[in-house]
Structure 1
Amino acid sequence: GTGVITFGFKAGSGTASRIVEWQGRAYTVGAFVQSNFGKRRNITIRGLRAGPELLEPAVREGTPRAEKGSIIAVAATDAPFLPHQMKRLARRVPLGVALTGGFGYHSSGDIFIAFSTANASAALAPSGRIASADFIPDTDIDPFFDAVIQTVEEAILNALVANDDMTGRDGNFVPALPKTWLKEKFG
């Protein structure tokens, strides 16, 4: 994540997770992002369109910009889901990106995937037998959708908050998201 810029601020890798209760059992939904996208004016934090307030410090002139960059996001869970359900979870990842002000511009190389660690034994079933897999019904999937959206949003913000100003090769400078401003706005 050394050269990664998100909304004109130093970014990188970010993670977040949530616990989802279903039928008396706790499942974890997590997100990992490599965040490298977005225009400064669009950054949104916890619903606040912050871009107009965060025009300074600027990226040093000549520093490559990531406005039309890309994001890689992985959603993972230990909840038992079938492949079509995992595709549905992966389709919620862009909603988390959008909550931060990301729009997926033309030429963005966005990659979103999702997987479950449940049902590993189903793949190891002996040949000649019917294998079975547990799964949460489609009608009960909404809390997991919410968790994916929330964790992706938080992982992007964590990637921003975890970094400091960076000066790289040839004097390229990328500022960190101002921590003082964050404390003033969100405590």
Structure 2
Amino acid sequence: MAQQSDSQTSQNQRPRARELGIVVGVLPPGPLNAITDVAGVRVGHTTLIRGDNIRTGVTVILPHGGNLFREKVPGAIFVGNGFGKLMGFTQVDELGEIESPILLTGTLNVARVADAAMDYMLSLPGNENVRSINIVVGETNDGSLNDIRGRHVGREEVLSAIRNAREGAVEEGAVGAGAGTVAFGFKGGIGTSSRILPKRLGGYTVGTLVQTNYGGILQINGAPVGRELGRYYLKNELEQPDGSIMMVIATDAPLDARNLKRLAARSMLGLARTGSPSSNGSGDYAIAFSAAPEVRIRAGETGNLREIRLLGNDAMSPLFEAVVEATEEAIYNSLFKAVTVKGYGGHTVEALPVERTVEILRRYNVLNYDKRLK
């Protein structure tokens, strides 16, 4: 990880939503309550905090630890609102395969990040004769806090994030691609969550990771937090709700691209539950993949008949519930873990105030409801 400020220590001390008694939905989270609860998935960040004006970074999600070009994963992308610069979309949409790391960054860094990721992929053993790779890079605009025109994320930052991608706990808040993002008028960032289905429904895991940089009227478990705090869309002094969100969804359920796209679409329901209107200028994208080893598309198989076992349509509804819940909670985690950041042009974006928010949630009686309900 690149240079960190003292804010990282404060960030680590801020609670996740569930630690405050904010329980989303009915399904249990995985042991880490993170996208990395899906076996084999790895996440890495490089965070750039330099001087007064650079607040940016890159986040990498690896569907597995091998050569993704030699062992592609089924994948799909759903566009909730297409005001964005997502790279690699059309080939994923056409073939239903993801063959590179999934990278998230700031808007004007997309091309630089893709170039570095291409260097990485071409350098892998087994790819010596490869002449075409579809790199997937998502973005949100971090120009409120970052010198976005400087395009400060380069080759070393990308390669560092890939090299340092790990299974296990995922850093959240103002890290990686979330270093300079803003959500609901507060500091946004990276958040993650997961859900596990009951064994009778397959015991599958669904994990999400979000990069939050959008607006609206914040609500948490239905409580009107944004209005209570006096920061919300259509309040005269608040900026427009434009921005973007990238949502990455992993599952170990054996799904094909068609049902992965259906799964990705349901993440928009989790987004809506947080108070987003999916505004005109918000690029709202969901990228979903299956990490199940048995559905990988291995080199040499693409031209032959493949025999695989897939979940059918009738098995999808529990997975839909899982992704809605995990997306909603991941967004809350991105807000609660983020710290106040001062950046470009002296602009300061405050973190969501934890104590005031908890008091609001307590007043609306939405904390720890899982302990009151059977």
TM-score over 0.5 for the pair: yes
Contact persistence 1:18–1:28 (CA under 8 A): yes
1:19 maps onto 2:196 in alignment: yes
Structure 2 partner of 1:38: 215
Taking structure 1 as reference, are residues 133 and 182 closer, same or farther at Cα in structure 2, changes over 3 Å only?
same
CA–CA distance in 2 between the matches of 1:98 and 1:32? 16
> What's the TM-score once normalised by structure 2's chain length?
0.45
Structure 2 partner of 1:54: 229
CA–CA distance in 2 between the matches of 1:47 and 1:151? 16
CA–CA distance in 2 between the matches of 1:47 and 1:133? 41
User: Amino acid of the residue matched to residue 319 of structure 2?
Assistant: F
Q: Shift of the alpha carbon at 1:66?
A: 6.8
**Which stretch has the larger CA shift, 176-185 or 4-13?**
176-185
* Aligned structure 1 segments of 4 or more residues deviating by more than 6 angstroms: none
User: Amino acid of the residue matched to residue 175 of structure 1?
Assistant: E
Secondary structure of the residue that 2:283 maps to in structure 1?
A: coil
Q: Shift of the alpha carbon at 1:68?
A: 0.3
Secondary structure of the residue that 1:33 maps to in structure 2?
A: strand
Q: Shift of the alpha carbon at 1:166?
A: 1.6
**Which structure would you say has the larger RCO, counting Cα contacts within 8 Å and 6 or more residues apart?**
1
Contact persistence 2:254–2:295 (CA under 8 A): no
Structure 1 partner of 2:259: 85
Cα displacement string for residues 102-155 of structure 1 (whole angstroms, at most 9, x for unaligned residues): 111112222211110125465238658632112122112111000101111111
Structure 2 partner of 1:7: 184
Structure 2 partner of 1:101: 275
Taking structure 1 as reference, are residues 168 and 27 closer, same or farther at Cα in structure 2, changes over 3 Å only?
same
CA–CA distance in 1 between the matches of 2:296 and 2:191? 31
The correspondence for 2:318, drawn from 119, 143, 152, is 143
User: Amino acid of the residue matched to residue 38 of structure 1?
Assistant: G
Taking structure 1 as reference, are residues 122 and 54 closer, same or farther at Cα in structure 2, changes over 3 Å only?
closer
Structure 1 partner of 2:308: 133
Contact persistence 1:122–1:133 (CA under 8 A): no
CA RMSD of aligned residues (A): 2.2
**Unaligned ranges ≥5, structure 2:** 1-177, 232-237, 368-374
CA–CA distance in 1 between the matches of 2:343 and 2:281? 25
Contact persistence 1:37–1:66 (CA under 8 A): no
1:72 maps onto 2:249 in alignment: no
CA–CA distance in 1 between the matches of 2:202 and 2:284? 33
Secondary structure of the residue that 1:154 maps to in structure 2?
A: helix
Q: What count of residue pairs does the alignment treat as equivalent?
A: 178
Secondary structure of the residue that 2:282 maps to in structure 1?
A: coil
Q: Shift of the alpha carbon at 1:169?
A: 3.0
Cα displacement string for residues 66-90 of structure 1 (whole angstroms, at most 9, x for unaligned residues): 7200000011101111111101001
Q: Percent identity?
A: 40
Cα displacement string for residues 22-62 of structure 1 (whole angstroms, at most 9, x for unaligned residues): 547422100010000013xx101011122211126xxxxxx
Taking structure 1 as reference, are residues 19 and 100 closer, same or farther at Cα in structure 2, changes over 3 Å only?
same
Contact persistence 1:36–1:66 (CA under 8 A): no
Secondary structure of the residue that 1:182 maps to in structure 2?
A: helix
CA–CA distance in 1 between the matches of 2:354 and 2:259? 38
